[in-house]
Structure 1
C-alpha cells in the first residue's frame, strides 16, 4: 500500500482545494433559528454539511485527495477505513475518477452507510467492533500497492475539509467563533488553519464525545486512557487515538476542546428534527449539543456551528429518543 500525501497544511493549500472543489461539491446552506438564538443568547449560524453530497463534509477531503494523486497511483486503486461518512466520500470520489476502492468498515456501521458506500461501486469489508479495529485490519493490505486515503491524518484531506470554513466566512464574515465536531481531527485542523488565516481573532472550539475523547484529553494534558471498546451514538467521531498530524495543528490553532454526552447529543438530534425540520446524525449534532450545554461559558455574539453530517440510520431513532428521555429525567 502506498501512503501519498502533501507534507504540510497551509492556508494556500486550503485555498487551492477550495478552487478545485467548488464545481464538484455543494456550497451548503447556512441556517439560522430565532428559537436557538433566544435559548443561547447569541446569533447562531448552522453550516449544514448534512446537506452535502453523500450527506457529510467528508466528500471534500476525499475528492481533493483523489485530485492530488498522479494517474499512476490512481491505477493502483485506493483503500481506506471508515465509520461511514469518509467511506462514502472515498467511494464517490473513486467512482468519479474511475478508480477501484476498497473500504474497511466496522461490523456495526449503520446499514444505510454501508449500502450507500457499496452503491458507489466500492468493495466493502466489514470487520471489527469500531473504527480503530477496522483501521488496523485495513493496514494488513500495506503491501498491496494501493494508495491509502486516511480519513483524517492526511494534509490533503485536511485541506479539503478546511474549505467548509472558507465558505462559511465568505458568507458570514462577522463570526467570532466556530464550534466543530472532532473525531480524529481532520475537519477542525482544516477549519482552524483556514479560518485563522481569514480572521486571526476568531475562536475555534472543538467538541468530542465524552465516550471517545483522545484529543480532548491530550489538549488538556489529561492522562490518555485508550478504552478497549467505544459505544456512542456519535460513531462518526468515535476514535481511540489522536491523529499524529492533526494533533500538533490542533494544539497550535484551536482555542479549546470540550466534550458532550450521548444524552446531550440525542436531545440535539431531536431538537434539530422537531424545531428546524432537519435530520442530523450523532456526530453532526455534537457541536449543537456543545452550544446548548456551554452557551453561558462561550463568549460569542456571532457563532458558527458545523453540522457535519446527516447519515443517520432511521431505525436508530427509537434508541435516540430513549437516550434523550433518560437525559431529560436525569437533568430535570
Structure 2
C-alpha cells in the first residue's frame, strides 16, 4: 500500500508527514499481511484441518479471506462487542463465526476448545508468522522513506507495532516507534506498567479494533513492545473522533477509529520530541458507515460510550 504526503499534517507539524494507507487493503486492514503469511507457512495437512482465531474483527476477516484463497476453512471466535458490519463481512467470506461472551478472553476459551477438537490456532498477534507479515509494512516504509524519523502506529496486542519496530529499527535504530491506543481498556499499556501481561476490562470504543487483552501467556509481542516502543500515547474518545474527521475531511480517507489514532495523536499534540520525516500507519477502514457519518457530523462517541 502507498505512502501519501499529508499537506495538512506536514504544515501543522512543520516536518514531512506521510500516511501509510493500509485501510486500502483488500480486506480493509493491515491484518491481511500477517494472516496470509501465517496460512502460507502452514503445512498442507494443517491447512486441510482448518484454522481458528479470536478476533475483534479485522484479523478474522483477513484470516477468512486468506484461508479461502488456500482452500482452507476458518472459524472465527468473537465477543458481542465486535461491530456487526465486521461480523457480517467475515460470514460473507465463508467462515464459521462463533459469538461468545463480552470479551476476547471469553471468546478465547471457545477457540481453545476448538483447537482441542483438531483446528489449528492462528492468533491475531502473538505468533511469529503473524508478526513477520505485519513487519512487511516497516520494510515498505523504509523503501519509500529511507530516512524516516518517527513511525506512529496503533497499539493493541502488539503484532503490528512489534513487526514494524523490528523491521525499521534493524536498519534505522535511531527511528522512533510510537504506539497509540485508547484510554480505557488499553491492555498493552496496563501490562507494560505492571511489568507482565495482565487482564483488563473491555469497553466499547470508536477504536474497537484496539480492544481485547494481550494474553496472559503472551510470549512475543509483550517483550518486543517493552524493548522496541519509544513511547505510548493514550487518547480519549473525542480525540479519536477528531482523527476520524480529519482523515475524511482533509485526507479524503475513510478510516475506522483504530486507523485514525495516529492522526489523532498528532492533532492532540501528544507526541513528544517529534522527529521527521513522520509516517503514520492508517491501519484499517472497516468502519460501520452510519457510525462514520455520525462521527463526521460531530458525534464524538458511539452510542452508550462515555468519554
Give the TM-score, by structure 2 length: 0.91
Contact 2:156 2:214 in 1 (8 A): no
* Structure 1 position 52 matched with structure 2 position 25: yes
* Structure 1 position 286 matched with structure 2 position 246: no
Q: In the alignment, what sits opposite 2:238? A: 263
**Per-residue displacement from partner, 1:210-230 (whole Å, max 9, x unpaired)?**
112222233345898744332
* Structure 1 position 322 matched with structure 2 position 299: yes
Q: In the alignment, what sits opposite 2:177? A: 204
- In 1, Cα distance between the equivalents of 2:140 and 2:16? 18
- In 2, Cα distance between the equivalents of 1:224 and 1:58? 22
Which stretch of the first structure deviates more once superposed, 40-49 or 185-194?
40-49
Q: Tell me how far 1:121 sits from its aligned partner.
A: 1.3
**Per-residue displacement from partner, 1:151-170 (whole Å, max 9, x unpaired)?**
01101100000001111110
Q: In the alignment, what sits opposite 1:162? A: 135
* Structure 1 position 182 matched with structure 2 position 158: no
Contact 1:216 1:258 in 2 (8 A): no
SS of the residue corresponding to residue 323 of structure 1 reads coil
Is there any run of 5+ residues in structure 2 with no aligned partner, and where? Answer: 302-306
Q: In the alignment, what sits opposite 1:6? A: none
Q: In the alignment, what sits opposite 1:102? A: 75
Going from structure 1 to structure 2, the CA distance change for 1:189 and 1:33 (only over 3 Å counts) comes to same
Q: In the alignment, what sits opposite 1:130? A: 103
- In 1, Cα distance between the equivalents of 2:102 and 2:46? 31
Contact 2:191 2:198 in 1 (8 A): no
Q: In the alignment, what sits opposite 2:304? A: none
Q: Name which of 226, 244, 247 aligns with 2:222.
A: 247
* Structure 1 position 305 matched with structure 2 position 280: yes
Which stretch of the first structure deviates more once superposed, 129-138 or 172-181?
129-138
Contact 2:52 2:115 in 1 (8 A): no
Q: Tell me how far 1:187 sits from its aligned partner.
A: 0.4
Q: Name which of 215, 231, 238 aligns with 2:204.
A: 231
Going from structure 1 to structure 2, the CA distance change for 1:130 and 1:224 (only over 3 Å counts) comes to same
- In 2, Cα distance between the equivalents of 1:144 and 1:136? 13
Across the aligned residues of Structure 1 and Structure 2, the Cα RMSD in angstroms comes to: 2.1
Q: Name which of 138, 141, 147 aligns with 2:120.
A: 147
Q: Tell me how far 1:79 sits from its aligned partner.
A: 0.6
Paired residues, what number? 299
**Per-residue displacement from partner, 1:134-157 (whole Å, max 9, x unpaired)?**
223322223111100000110110
Going from structure 1 to structure 2, the CA distance change for 1:203 and 1:118 (only over 3 Å counts) comes to same
